[in-house]
Structure 1
Amino acid sequence: MILLDADVLLIDIRFPRDANFAVNQQLLEWLRSEHRAAGIAAQALLEVVGILSFNVSPAKIPALARQVARQYRLTVVPDWKSQPEYAGCRVQDVLDQMTRQMALGDAVQAVQIERFAPQAECLLTWNARHFVGKLVIPVFTPQEWLAQQISPAS
């Protein structure tokens, strides 16, 4: 499974003028066309919902996370059916992650990945510098990852 960070979805949904929009589209299309399993940490999905909540009817917000996950064919980790608590993280684990100089949202996401998706192939984020060397899985920007997948050597 390839994990996506919130920024990949937000660029697609809200920021078509972003400098990375074309590569972002290429990544999402490649994942669809190659039928690759994709996922998202619950923390990252809730970040997307929080940002979208400013332009969505309050009545629609509770269903928004499932709609986004379904639209992008994402597995949410941890699975909310088996782990219905917000983050599934111990406070000490989040604090330990913060010793690597991570903001709260990134630290929670890192702990969720370590606890619930350590077998993931990688995390794709436009903010790779926030995560490189701090996760149990490799981290790439979508551009770096696509270059590896589409290179002539493949």
Structure 2
Amino acid sequence: MVKKKRKKEVIFVDSNVFIIDLRYKKDKDYKINKSFLDYLYEKKTGITSVFNLLEICGILSFNLNERQIVELYHYFPDKYNVEIIPSPLLELSLPQLAIRKVFEVINRKVSFGDALIISLVESYIPHITHFLSWNAIHFKKKISVEASLKVLTPREFLTPPGNPLP
């Protein structure tokens, strides 16, 4: 009998999960969001994109000075124990994506920002097992990678089947 090798868990995390942790401590989902990020840190299975990291820095730039934004950018991967795809090096160019590819994703009824993320995932990290976002509904049935991809909110991810969390 041949044992089926279990696929390594690789979790792509959308910007809004990090924004809740960094800015919205009173959000109704803050505790479950924090539990998910703690899980991610411990398991070392998290990935996000340089687009997401730049979006996070842009959102927080209204409340941070230049030094704080630079520190956030550089220390973010260590703070959350996540890998930045393709790279967080400021000296590099943004990931190359064909306009046709982004346009094809937009034709799936997806906003431009979400289409950029989906295009990057499909082009650079098609091996993800989970895509986590508080806006999971925007991504369900929109990402063309493996059929087994689970698109979930952090609450859904942490909820045992048949045992909903409060």
Q: Fold-level match, TM-score > 0.5?
A: yes
- 1:29 aligned to 2:41? no
Q: Which runs of 5+ in 1 are unaligned?
A: none
- What is the aligned residue count? 149
Q: Shift of residue 39 of structure 1? A: 0.8
What do residues 76-103 of structure 1 show as CA deviations (whole Å, max 9, x unaligned)? 112245x932232111111111001111
- 1:90 aligned to 2:98? yes
Q: Give the TM-score taking structure 2 as reference length.
A: 0.81
Superposed CA RMSD in Å reads 2.1
Partner residue of 2:83 out of 69, 75, 92: 75
Q: Give the TM-score taking structure 1 as reference length.
A: 0.87
Partner residue of 2:154 out of 142, 147, 151: 142
C-alpha separation between the residues in 2 aligned to 1:144 and 1:26?
12
Partner residue of 1:54 out of 53, 62, 68: 62
% identical equivalent positions? 29
Q: Tell me if the contact between 2:41 and 2:82 (Cα under 8 Å) persists in the aligned partners.
A: no
Inter-CA distance 140–93: structure 2 relative to 1 (3 Å threshold): same
Bigger proportion of residues as helix: 1
Q: Which residue of 2 aligns with 1:11?
A: 20
Match of 2:159, SS state, is: helix
Q: Which runs of 5+ in 2 are unaligned?
A: 1-9
